[in-house]
Amino acid sequence: MARPLILALVFSLGVAGLGQAQENAVPDVPDAPVVEPHMDIQTLAAIILALDPDARVSLRGAQFTIDNVPVTMVADVVANRMRLLVPVASAAGLSEADLMRVMQANFDTALDARYAVANGRLWSVFIHPLAQLERAQFVSGVAQTVTLARNYGSSYASGGPVFGGGDSGALFQELLDQSEEI
């Protein structure tokens, strides 16, 4: 019973509003944002070669250099994953304090890149679904991954902004206070 009543109400509102449609015309709506096509290996290869013309590119990934920092990109179309890897340090030499600090950085200063341990190494990594990856996200991921690797042992940050809410702000303040004492 409620369904015919709802249909009648919708119909009557629609008919009654027809005369006002021209009077209350909808203002121009801005164009919808441009949606990039799904990312693929060929597009990633073109971006990487633009960043480093000497890059070595294959169907499964690439090896390239940004600012003298080696970067490896691994992609798997079937799993819909892309991963950027930058070696940071041997995992064998990491103390408990080092591991704690990289975990704190993963929470608030690493942004989209992250520290990770694999194969006896500490890495700076950026991981993203391949098909949904946009050109600007990839370039940002490269920059953040390289920056995070370079900032190991100092700010542990992948870029300028700090997400906040973690321990890094207090650690930065402590370093600032110590530098003022010198």
162, HSE (Cβ side, Cα atoms, 13 Å): 16
Compute the distance between CA of residue 37 and CA of residue 50 in angstroms, rounded to an integer: 19
pTM above threshold 0.75: no
Structural domain spans, the chain: 41-181
Report the alpha-carbon distance of residue 88 to residue 151 in Å, rounded: 10
The end-to-end CA distance of the chain, in Å, is 82
Beta bridge partners of 153: none
CATH fold of the domain at 41-181: Yope Regulator; Chain: A, (3.30.1460)
Across the chain, which has 182 residues, the per-10-residue mean pLDDT values are 38 41 61 78 96 96 97 97 98 95 94 96 98 96 97 90 59 53 62
Residue 145, amino acid: T
pLDDT score recorded for residue 178: 54
Distance (Å) of CA 21 to CA 16, 18, 26: 10, 5, 9
Quick check: helix, strand or coil at residue 160? Answer: coil
Q: Name 103's Cβ contacts closer than 8 Å, sequence gap at least 6.
A: 115
